Amino acid sequence: MDYEKFAMQIVEKARRAGADEADVYLSHGRESEVSIRMGEIEILKSAGSRGLGLRVFAGNRLGFAYTTDFTDAAIDEFVRRTLALSAETSVDEFNGLPQLDKGFSAPNLDLFDPKLAGIGTDWKIETAKKMEKAAMAYDKRITNSNGAGVYDGDGTTVLANSNGIVASYSSTYCYLVCQPVADDVEGKKQTNYWYTFKHFYDELEDPEEIAIIAAQRCVRQLGATKEKTRKCPVIFDPVVAAELIGAIAGAVDGDAVFKRSTYLVDKLGEKIAGDNITIVDDPVRVRGLSSQPFDDEGVPTYKKAIVDKGVLKTYLYDTYTANKVGTKTTGNGQRGFTSTPNIGTYNLYLEAGKHSREEIIKSVSDGFYVTQMMGFGLNMANGDYSRGASGLWIKDGELAYPVEEMTVASNMIDILKGIEMVGSDLDFRDGTNSPTIKITEMTVSGT
């Protein structure tokens, strides 16, 4: 099927049925999952899927519906039903499609690997077993497993609208993960994980190395205790630092700003962090794990600094929110075929600094090196931040012993201004990434 032509035909049907404007978001693809636990296959799954969502605007009223039935009769009824839904909604002057210049040509971001579709099930099973076996062989205290898995798939996204925009792109992915479980002498268990996630098969990290890192992260937490409550320096390793950077995205959501429900309201153009902090949203990164040549409303995407050398430079908008505020969309409208657009980020990251991980650790005489976070403890309205944490305690510049059942707390503005060292170890391992960061002081609660 020519999905671009098909999507545009639905748009034209909607216009003939009475829509002033219409757009179609269509996706189709396949996914595969192989999961192993204790040497046995737990999940072996392969599936294909396709679906489309249709938005219509009639008299500034929005109608939305989605379907997975692409037959002619079903599509005709689907379009009729979507128009009928719009008649039941209220008038909203801010509804409508983005106003774009015609002739946009989506850049090739190199997101599709044809080799992945040919990777056989036998390889996936063997790779998952190899990871679990390598993890358990690393240390005799690793006696159990939460599994090892291989996930891969591909997908194509098509966007067509009544302003004459039609575009598409395709991508593939492959994800390997290993999750060992260790026991200490008292029978207390610790678990951790590690993974590799890429668009291209040839870029995947060695499965056994993934397993060994997972085992190391697991075993080093054995014998963990609590530390006394105090204020001290806190270092976030890249995994948990990325979670912190991801939390900042919610604070620059244009809808939250419009509702004045974020701690960064009225901060545009202000210094909210040190000169060492630049946070970037880069949808057009070649082979980026969250790259898109256009957003899910058909708006061309572009690289932007959200925070540039400590200064808040932009909020993020989709078309509807931008219309409410009286500004332009930033190309951050995101959706699946079952939903209307919301605001989201792409390849979000904190730019690397100049300090090695070892140098950052050596700078702390008494502090907390956080490797895992639990729960969600951010008040977006005022920036108060409190989360459960585990990791390693630092003594005299060395990782001394494991700690767990701790809480780290502060306020996001204080955290941002308190990031005194940024690591050089930025690794684009996921959709949101960060190097190691050191925060001058946080409240660390334990015993």
- Our measurement of the distance from residue 344's CA atom to the centroid of its chain's CA atoms, rounded to an integer in Å, reads 9
Choose among 327, 305, 311: nearest CA to 267: 311
Query: In this predicted model, what pLDDT tens digit does every residue of 273-294 receive, in sequence order?
Result: 999 999 999 999 999 999 999 9
- CA dihedral 96→100→105→111, nearest 10 degrees, is -40
Choose among 447, 425, 442: nearest CA to 434: 425
Query: In this predicted model, what pLDDT tens digit does every residue of 99-146 receive, in sequence order?
Result: 877 666 778 999 999 999 889 999 999 999 999 999 999 999 999 999
Q: Which residues pair with 443 in a beta bridge?
A: 231, 409
The answer to whether 241 and 167 have CB atoms below 8 angstroms apart is: no
Predicted local confidence at residue 103, as pLDDT: 62
* Identity of the amino acid at 160: A
- The pLDDT averaged over each successive group of 10 residues in the chain (447 residues) is 95 96 96 95 94 96 96 96 95 92 79 92 96 96 95 96 92 97 84 96 96 96 94 97 93 96 96 97 97 95 96 97 96 96 97 97 97 91 95 96 95 96 96 97 93
Choose among 164, 97, 149: nearest CA to 341: 97
What is the spatial distance between Cα 387 and Cα 227, in angstroms, rounded to a whole number? 16
What is the spatial distance between Cα 239 and Cα 177, in angstroms, rounded to a whole number? 14
What is the spatial distance between Cα 253 and Cα 212, in angstroms, rounded to a whole number? 38
Q: How many CA atoms lie within 13 A of 67 on its CB side?
A: 19
Sign of the CA dihedral with 75 first, then 78, 82, and 87 last? positive
What is the spatial distance between Cα 236 and Cα 361, in angstroms, rounded to a whole number? 10
Query: In this predicted model, what pLDDT tens digit does every residue of 147-161 receive, in sequence order?
Result: 999 999 999 999 999
- Our measurement of the distance from residue 271's CA atom to the centroid of its chain's CA atoms, rounded to an integer in Å, reads 26
Domains of the chain, first to last = 3-219 (3.30.2290.10), 224-447 (no CATH)
Neighbours of 8 (CB within 10 A): 19
What is the spatial distance between Cα 273 and Cα 235, in angstroms, rounded to a whole number? 17
Neighbours of 269 (CB within 10 A): 10
Neighbours of 51 (CB within 10 A): 16
What is the rounded end-to-end Cα distance, in angstroms, of the chain? 63
Choose among 221, 113, 97, 108: nearest CA to 163: 97
